[in-house]
Amino acid sequence: MPAALSDLLVLDLSRVLAGPYATMVLADLGARVIKIEQPGIGDETRQWGPPFAANGLSAYFIAVNRNKQSVAINLKHPTGQAIVRALGQRADVLIENFLPGTMARMGLGYDDLRVLNPGLIYCSITGYGQYGPDADRPGYDTVIQAEGGLMSITGEPNGPPLKTGVAVADITTGLYAATSILAALHYRTLTGEGQYIDLALFDVQLSWLANVASAYLVSGKPPQRYGNGHATIVPYQPFAAADGYIMIAVGNDRQFERFCTVLNHPEWAGDERFATNPARVAHRDVLVPLIAAVIVREPVAIWIERLRAVDVPCGPVNDIPTALHSRQAQARAMVQQVAGVPMVGPAAKLSATPATIRTAPPALGADTDAVLRELGYAPDQLAAWRADGVIE
């Protein structure tokens, strides 16, 4: 089957997570992605381990760099900059995550490249955007989680603020980047014009505070930490069972009635303190301990069987190995192996143009010669540049 983005050339000058995640999404959908890396070092996540796979690549690098080609070019060298300009002249998309102004100082900014390629979609990912008082600060996911409010609502009510277990500011910025690029490409089909995309981790973090931010803007009350509970729905949290934890998500009053019946306490559904969701939220300190005292008596599997039988949303609190090796993950091909390297599979399931893993993440500079020969550079020229440290 044809890939949805098989006609696109993406030039990836980003490192670490947000940018590489965006380009991986595009690559999974068929785009050709050329990853530009520093000779001798490459993307710093190549060294972020252990663990390392049998081929020497770190698990971190593997996570977001499949389906790409690696070209090692020294961007500090004028010749290296000229090579990237030549690639940029052919590219449909360029993604970079240097500090504001860095690319322009190398003659590789949007204003430099759009003269050569008016249809270029140029996406810059930074911590705080291209303007504003913090624009010159580097962006780090955990700092963004702190400054963007996420840590203030994560953790137990009386405990310290906590970060999430995954770098969610980076990941969501990568998804915003991929979405924005696709929108810009659609605009280009209508007008023939490229455009510049300015993405900030801080902006993205604020944007996906979603209902929590909205609740503050509507009420004026700062959101609180609720641990594993929910600010506006009760019961909506994990409970300790006899042999583990079960997540229970009672989303409406009808579900609560059925839930109470399963717990052999139908009277709770008629109690004015618990009969409606607002009442349950107001009296969570009373209701949650009552539920916990019942759930702990039986194992997880028993509760799941009983609750699912009456359509009350619930599920076991799995560890990562259990989640990745579950029957559902297997059925959805969510773990795949290419060239002996295991990876989490693409999440998007397109019927006509499915996302695919075609190649494992590349070794540093594995495709330098092949890509530069496509630009017309002769082997002796490449050898001379390699000797001068321009390429690897």
Kindly report the number of other CB atoms within 10 A of residue 166's CB atom: 10
Residues 110 and 104: their CA atoms lie apart, in Å, by 7
Confirm whether 285 is a catalytic residue.
no
Burial 114-153 (b: 16+ CB within 10 A, else e): beebebbbbbbbbbbbeeeeebebebebebbbbbbbbbbb
Q: 97 CB contacts (<8 Å, ≥6 apart)? A: 13, 14, 15, 16, 18, 19, 124, 125, 126
Q: For residue 52, give the DSSP letter.
A: B
Distance, CA of 9 to CA of 92 (rounded, Å):
5
Here the tokens at position 85 are 């300009």
Distance between CA atoms of 127 and 203, rounded to whole angstroms?
A: 9
Q: Which of 12, 141, 170, 203 is catalytic?
A: 170
Phi, psi dihedrals of residue 183, rounded to the nearest 5°: -65, -40
Q: How far is CA 203 from CA 26, 125, 130, 133, 170, in A?
A: 22, 11, 12, 14, 11
As annotated, the active-site residues are 170
